[in-house]
Amino acid sequence: MATPSRGEDWLVDIGYAPKVRPALVVSVPIESDERVLTTVVPHTTSIRGTRFETPSDVRWLKDGSFDAQGIGTYPTAKLIRKLGILPADQLQAVESCIRLLLDLPGTADGG
């Protein structure tokens, strides 16, 4: 079974219209007594330029962005293959978009 870590890009079966796409793991590793679920932010090549998108610049992904509005939690078994590890500055940018989306402290607009 996959053992994803925060900040890794994985190819994920997100389930609708049999869609497999790259996604960034944003959850912490699970422990043995917890549900085997992983939270990810999908990567898209359909950029809309919203405040919840973060451009990505890594060799294993096509030009596009991570879209925090698409955040979701899936069974870890849906993670197919690790693609790479996102650089720390790009991970921090995605985290900022998630905080903004959820109005969490640590953003210019958030509490």
Residue 106 above 80 pLDDT? Answer: no
37: its two tokens = 């679920």
39 closest CA partner among 86, 103, 92, 98? 98
> Quick one: pLDDT at residue 32?
87
**42 domain-assigned:** yes
The rounded mean pLDDT for the chain is 91
| CATH number where 71 lies | 2.30.30.110
60 closest CA partner among 7, 105, 22? 22
pTM: 0.90
> 3-51, pLDDT tens digit by residue?
899 999 999 998 876 789 999 999 998 888 999 999 999 999 999 999 9
Q: How many domains does the chain have?
A: 1
**53 domain-assigned:** yes
Which positions ≥6 away from 73 have C-beta within 8 Å? 27, 37, 38, 39, 40
**111 domain-assigned:** no
**66 domain-assigned:** yes
**1 domain-assigned:** no
* Band (109; pLDDT cuts 50, 70, 90): low
* Band (108; pLDDT cuts 50, 70, 90): low
Q: Give the separation between CA 86 and CA 103, rounded to whole angstroms.
A: 24
**109 domain-assigned:** no
**Domain span at 36:** 8-102
List, in sequence order, every beta strand (DSSP E) within 6-107: 8-13, 20-25, 37-44, 53-56, 64-67, 72-75, 79-85
